[in-house]
């Protein structure tokens, strides 16, 4: 029997960008927001040099990432480095549907049909690079434009775009199927879970203390764990302590305190 191994997923997000367009602005704010939500992000901070192929480090990082956010900006296609990065991302993630494009200050149709700055870039590439390779890049750009993503001009503010991207990353990295399995298998749990999420208001800038009371065996701990899994990504630090009474009786409160502080 043959077995195929998949590479370990070291990063939640691979962030692909054209530095001269967005490194100091949009992409940096997006990166900081993702990090605030505790996502492990690989940001391509290497400055591409003319004539030097994409590094092995970047290729490996793409292979080891769960999702990729591609910030498609006006000068993206002028970099052969960025275009090779795009090819690798599609190779690794297209089948998993974890490619997330952001069209920043560009029209998706310009990317799809290589118009404007994308047309200019492709013409320059064709003058010094094999046509077959350029065609691969063209096909990749067309393919990327067909993914569901975000177009910056459609939003009132960058913050709104970034919030939606972070939410989508959460859905890709931590889908609704939880560590306990699908909530569909837990009778009556979905409706209770929705009530608790509304009560907690995880996006609110406030402190909330919520108690769950009931007889033994009705699912209090299960519900608490589900709530934790759904909202923990909203916080920089989170911890779930289960069976507090039993653990404190067997191993003392100090053990629980150490677990919490660690």
Catalytic residue among 24, 85, 184, 192: 85
End-to-end CA separation in angstroms for the chain: 43
Closest CA to 70 of 26, 33, 39: 26
Place of tokens 């092995």: 56
Q: Which residues contact 72 (CB under 8 A, 6 or more apart)?
A: 101, 102, 103, 104, 106, 111, 144
- CA 72, CA 111: separation in Å to the nearest integer? 8
Identify whether the C-beta of residue 144 lies closer than 8 Å to the C-beta of residue 90: yes
Identify whether the C-beta of residue 140 lies closer than 8 Å to the C-beta of residue 86: yes
Locate 182 and state its tokens.
């699908």
In 3-state terms the chain splits into helix, strand, coil percentages (rounded to 5) of 55, 10, 35
User: Quick count: other Cβ atoms within 10 Å of Cβ 74?
Assistant: 18
Tell me 103's DSSP state.
E
Q: Tell me the longest C-alpha to C-alpha distance in the chain.
A: 75
Q: Is residue 85 annotated as part of the catalytic site, yes or no? A: yes
- CA 139, CA 113: separation in Å to the nearest integer? 9
Closest CA to 107 of 74, 79, 144: 74
Q: Which residues are catalytic?
A: 85
């Amino acid at each position: 029997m043959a077995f195929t191994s998949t590479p370990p997923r070291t990063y939640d997000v691979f962030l692909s960008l054209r530095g001269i367009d967005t490194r100091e602005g949009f992409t940096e704010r997006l990166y900081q927001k993702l990090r605030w939500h505790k996502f492990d992000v690989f940001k391509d901070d290497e400055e591409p040099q003319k004539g030097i192929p994409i590094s092995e480090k970047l290729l490996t990082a793409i292979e080891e990432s769960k999702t990729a956010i591609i910030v498609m900006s006006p000068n993206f296609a002028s970099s052969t480095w960025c275009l090779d990065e795009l090819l690798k991302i599609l190779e690794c993630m297209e089948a998993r549907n974890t490619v997330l494009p952001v069209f920043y200050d560009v029209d998706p149709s310009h990317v799809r049909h290589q118009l404007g700055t994308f047309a200019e870039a492709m013409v320059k590439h064709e003058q010094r690079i094999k046509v077959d390779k350029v065609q691969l890049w063209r096909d990749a750009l067309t393919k990327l434009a067909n993914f569901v993503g975000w177009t910056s001009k459609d939003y009132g503010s960058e913050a709104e775009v970034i919030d939606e991207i972070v939410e989508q990353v959460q859905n890709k990295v931590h889908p609704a199927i939880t560590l306990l399995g699908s909530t569909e298998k837990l009778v009556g749990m979905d409706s209770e879970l929705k009530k608790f999420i509304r009560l907690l208001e995880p996006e609110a800038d406030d402190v909330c203390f919520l108690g769950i009371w009931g007889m033994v065996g009705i699912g209090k701990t299960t519900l608490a764990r589900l709530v934790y899994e759904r909202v923990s990504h909203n916080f920089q630090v989170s911890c779930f302590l289960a069976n507090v009474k039993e653990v404190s009786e067997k191993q003392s409160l100090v053990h629980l305190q150490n677990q919490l502080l660690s």
